[in-house]
Structure 1
Amino acid sequence: MKIRLISILLGTLLCTPVWLLAQQADMHYRFEQLMFGEKQPMSVPVRGHSHNDYEQAIPFFAAYHAGMESIEIDLFLHRDSLYAAHDRTKIKQGLTLEDTYMRPLAKLFKENGGKAFADETKQLQLLLDFKEDYKKLMPPLLALLEKYRFMVDPQITAQPVKMVISGNMPPVSEFEKFPAWIYFDGRPGIAYTAEQQKHVGMISDDLKSYTTWNGKGVPSPAAMQKIKREAQHAKMIGIPFRLWGTAESPNTWLTLEKMGVTWLNTDYPVLLKEYLDHLASSRYRSSNTYDVYQPTYVSDGRSAHGVKNVILLIGDGMGMGHIQAAISANKGLANMSRMKHIGFSFTSSLSPGNTDSGAGGSAIATGQKTFNEQLSVDSSGNALPRIPAILRPLGIRTGIITTGDLSDATPAAFYTSHKDRNASEAISESLMHNEDTDILIGGKPGAYQDVEKWKKLVAGLKRNNFELPDTKQEFSASKSEKSIYFLPDSLTRPVKDGRGPILSETLIATIEKLQNRDKGFFIMAEGAQIDWGGHARNMEYTLTETQDFDRAVGEALRFADEDGNTLVIVLADHETGALSLIDTDWQSGYVQGNFASNDHSSMAVPVMAYGPGAQLFTGFFQNTAIFDRILTLFRK
């Protein structure tokens, strides 16, 4: 274990950027930004097309503010004005192309500094579906557009609104007669000349020309290949492809994208906006896979009388969706998937709605449910005995590790009791008097950026005989019975932003420090930022954190096999994000998911166990049962 730890430490030091080592940020602020901060616009390969937009409750604005980059308007000429309507009998007063679309669009175009959208990754086109002969509609349209040349002519503006004519179009042979900024809706199978092609703004077709597919599953292989060929041909000549008559669902949109379709038809722009806004962040393809440990299973499920040590690994916010996504991203492999004893824990608290980490962690640490926002207290606010305090008289030593703030709810629930999980300073200062926890590792709470507060905390911790190493090397080399290692910012940043395998490293080091003390040990190690990735609804963040956690699981399994008397328990305090998987590919390590929420859900979470007594953690049970079963094992 020692040789392995040294090699991991050296590798991390060499790979950690200097700029990360120099920074110290408030993790609570970063968390708030994940939940509520503005998301960076991201370009995606598909775009939204508002079908028959004039039938929306609020034409133009509903689609525009939903980020639809194509808006379809059926046109009729009525009393010298172009009206938007599905048929002539439905023409409404005031619903003209100019009043409803061109005039408000021109105002926005000017406000955005010469572009349709403030978001520079988006561009806009109006698809004008002629419901009458083009010879009747084209003259008044060209006359109208002359007033708006400043936003449709690429000779005048760098980001023009594209005007595309569909429906009763002129014949292809006449395309070249019209201004360069007039485009037409092409059709598959037409061999456009180079000059005609310059006027083709998109290529569209009816889905029924290829298949009767209703959006569930996928079309037949033959139909998919035919659509792919048409879409690929359009792409080769630089023109987007659209199918009309498609169903509306994430599966439909995903399948259309896979076939090469650019424009996604919708009658519900707000629903499509939700899908497109999160499309880029809902996907992840692993660039590097990692090896997983192959357990021997020699001690797995053996008599519970053999338990000397328990390693409790909590993937904060980790549900079944997270675990399966991590397996897929690592091309079908994960340490967690090697664990054979599996159960499910119900995570509700005493509060209405879903649990928070305070109540979730407290239920595991104390065996009693409490209200959200509280730490290891009962419903009346009275302190409850926690696992470390109960085990200390039995000669069991304790280590607590987290990749988040050490005063955060999950780790804090195991070393203190408090009515307010957010009372970071009071929670931290409780360690000045803590007698039952030997090793604590986690980020420095934000309040201690204040130098005087930090000095006061350090002095109090040292009076309680805690050593405070400054580096991983100091922590690993320390012979002190009691240590608190406050991780620098570089070691609490997200994995995707450069954090190394600190959870695995410190778990190995903590095991080495505790394995020969007294009668055994209890270690709680938390992958804190799986939860943060769920709150951010970001698949890369979520999966890189889950995979980092899974690596720590592998180290725990390795030690359990070496020791023979160690039980490893892997679980979550709750699920975050209501994550479901839409698409996975084990061969390439690709995952696309859907976060139905940016908060905790009420879904039961998997509980996996390995080693002596692992058989006690199968089936369905309340989260409080974890506490009961751990204590039962230690008391045998």
Structure 2
Amino acid sequence: MVFLLLLTTQTVFTRADDKPASPLSQAHAHNDYLHDRPLYDALDHGFNSVEADVFLVGDKLLVGHTLGETTPDRTLAALYLDPLRQRVRSGGGQVQPGGGPFRLFIDIKSSAEPTYAALTTLLASYSDMLSQVQDDKFQTCAINVVISGNRPQATMAAEKKRFAGIDGRLSDLNSDVASHLIPVISDNWKSHFQWRGAGEIPAEEKQKLRQWVRQAHADGRQIRFWGTPDTPPMWRVLQDSGVDMINTDDLPGLEKFLRDNRSNH
């Protein structure tokens, strides 16, 4: 029994090469479920944030990029919530040791209201590890859930008890909405910037990016962009500008970049 417990703990806190994966707070795994080992590959690379697309099929929340790619066994619970619960219980209440709350982005791809209703019921059964809001008071726990995609914003805003926040957009900057309701500002990089991650970013675009980051932080929110090319110059600009989550499909590439550049930030 003791041996099994130790083995479980070792599996949770070490990488495949037996080196500890210290947490990388800025590392966000975009479309995480497309990797060979959903969640686990990201954790092994030290990521503290992942994203999963979900579809409501019958009464199940299935994970996949498109509805046609979903299968009955690839549920949100099986791929993410259950292994995260095991990780939290084995890790003294944390997903990544010393990493602070882990971010789980759930991108709703099916109809917003029925999917969120099913998701709320599911999340309630994992309430022991989820940050939550009760009567407008935020309680931090091991995992912060953020709802993206088809977001039932009015429904979520009206809830007295809530296990997730809303993934906002740049249009939500300067909003007076509570930061626990919209904890993150996310948007499509290519809709707002011409620079594509090669050479130097134009000065006016760098200034615009930094202004948006400052405003998000002043409002108590984090910020990220999707559609950013996976290049070191892009990662450098995002890191230097204080973007909270660097979106990537290249787990080892971003890990290497962040670890090589950690001492300077």
Distance 1:213 1:84 in 2: 32
Q: Any idea what the Cα deviations from partners look like across 1:170-218, whole Å, max 9, x if unmatched?
A: 23575242634310101113243344x3211210011112223221123
CA positional deviation for 1:223: 1.8
Amino acid at match of 1:149: S
CA distance in 2, matches of 1:179, 1:187: 23
Query: Of 109, 114, 133, which residue of structure 2 is paired with 1:131?
Result: 109
Residues matched between the structures, number: 243
In structure 1, the residue matched to 2:181 is: 199
RMSD in angstroms over aligned alpha carbons? 2.5
Whole-angstrom distance in 2 between the partners of 1:124 and 1:74: 17
For 2:140 and 2:187, the matched residues in 1 are separated by 29
- 1:107 Cα shift? 0.5
In 2, Cα distance between equivalents of 1:123 and 1:88: 30
**Conservation of the 8 A alpha-carbon contact between 1:154 and 1:160:** no
Contact 1:133–1:169 under 8 Å retained in 2:
no
Structure with max Cα Rg = 1
Deviations 1:377-420 (A, max 9, x none): xxxxxxxxxxxxxxxxxxxxxxxxxxxxxxxxxxxxxxxxxxxx
Please state if 1:243 is matched with 2:225: yes
1:54 counterpart = 2:33:
yes
Other structure's SS at 1:279 match = helix
Question: How far apart are residue 114 of structure 1 and its match?
Answer: 1.1
2:162 equivalent to 1:163:
no
Q: Indicate the residue corresponding to 2:3 in structure 1.
A: none
Alignment-mate amino acid for residue 84 of structure 1: V
The verdict on how the C-alpha distance between 1:172 and 1:256 changes in structure 2, with shifts beyond 3 A counting, is: farther
One-letter identity of the residue aligned with 1:198: H
How far apart are residue 160 of structure 1 and its match? 2.3
**Could you tell me which residue of structure 1 aligns to residue 119 of structure 2?**
141
Q: Deviations over 1:506-527 (max 9, x none)?
A: xxxxxxxxxxxxxxxxxxxxxx
Name structure 1 gaps, 5 residues minimum. 1-37, 285-636
Amino acid at match of 2:258: L
2:120 and 2:59 map into 1 onto residues whose CA distance is 13
2:15 — aligned with what?
Answer: none
SS of the counterpart of 1:69?
A: strand
- Residue 184 of structure 1 is aligned with which of 160, 166, 184? 166
2:216 is matched with which residue: 204, 210, 234?
234
Structure 1-normalised TM-score?
A: 0.36
Taking a change above 3 Å as real, the CA distance of residues 39 and 95 of structure 1, as seen in their structure-2 partners, is closer
Query: Secondary structure in 1 aligned to 2:252?
Result: helix
CA distance, structure 2, for counterparts of residue 134 and residue 39 of structure 1: 39
State the Cα distance separating 1:238 from its structure 2 match: 1.8
Asked whether the equivalents of residues 73 and 84 of structure 1 are also in contact (C-alpha less than 8 Å), the reply is yes
- Residue 68, structure 1, aligned to residue 47, structure 2: yes
Per-residue deviation, 1:271:
2.0
Q: Which residue of 215, 224, 249 corresponds with 1:267?
A: 249
The verdict on how the C-alpha distance between 1:40 and 1:186 changes in structure 2, with shifts beyond 3 A counting, is closer
Q: What is the rounded CA distance, in whole Å, between the counterparts of 1:115 and 1:124 in structure 2?
A: 8
Tell me the residue number matched to 2:75.
96
Residues 63 and 270, structure 1, Cα contact 8 Å, conserved in 2: no
What is the TM-score when the length of structure 2 is the normalising length? 0.83
Instruction: For residues 429-462 of structure 1, give each alpha carbon's deviation from its aligned partner in whole angstroms, at most 9, with x where no partner exists.
Output: xxxxxxxxxxxxxxxxxxxxxxxxxxxxxxxxxx
**Cα distance between partner residues in 1 of 2:105 and 2:52:** 6
**Secondary structure of 2:47 counterpart:** coil
Give deviations 1:98-156, integer Å, cap 9, x for gaps.
01111111011100011112x21343111000112221101111111111100003589
For the residue of structure 2 that corresponds to 1:189, the secondary structure is helix
Which deviations, in whole Å up to 9, do the C-alpha atoms of 1:69-89 show, x marking residues without a partner? 111111101131101111111
CA drift of 1:275 comes to 2.1
- Determine the C-alpha separation between the residues in 2 that align with 1:148 and 1:222: 45
Q: Which aligned pairs between 1:158-557 and structure 2 lie closer than 5 A?
A: 159-171=141-153, 174-177=156-159, 179-190=161-172, 191-195=174-178, 197-281=179-263, 283=264
Structure 2 residue ranges without an equivalent (≥5): 1-18
* Aligned residue type for 1:106: R
Distance (whole Å) between structure 2 residues aligned to residue 162 and residue 231 of structure 1: 20
For 1:126, give the aligned amino acid.
L
Instruction: Work out the CA distance in 1 between the residues paired with 2:218 and 2:123.
Output: 30
Please state how far the C-alpha of 1:158 moved relative to its aligned partner. Answer: 5.4
Quickly say closer, same or farther: Cα 1:171–1:78, change in 2 above 3 A. Answer: same
Q: Quick check: 1:126–1:164 contact (8 Å CA) kept in 2? A: yes
Query: 1:49–1:71: 8 Å Cα contact kept in structure 2?
Result: yes
In structure 2, distance between residues paired with 1:178 and 1:213: 42
1:595-614 alignment, distance < 5 Å: none
Q: Could you tell me which residue of structure 1 aligns to residue 9 of structure 2?
A: none
* Distance in 2 (alpha carbons) for counterparts of 1:180 and 1:235: 23
- 1:526-560 superposed Cα distances (whole Å, 9 cap, x missing partner): xxxxxxxxxxxxxxxxxxxxxxxxxxxxxxxxxxx
Question: Which letter maps to 1:87?
Answer: T
Q: What's the offset of the Cα at 1:225? A: 1.8
C-alpha contact (below 8 Å) 2:94/2:142 kept by paired residues: yes
Aligned to 1:616: none
Q: What amino acid is the match of 1:213?
A: W
Instruction: After superposition, give the CA deviation of every residue in 1:450-476 in whole Å (9 maximum; x if it has no partner).
Output: xxxxxxxxxxxxxxxxxxxxxxxxxxx
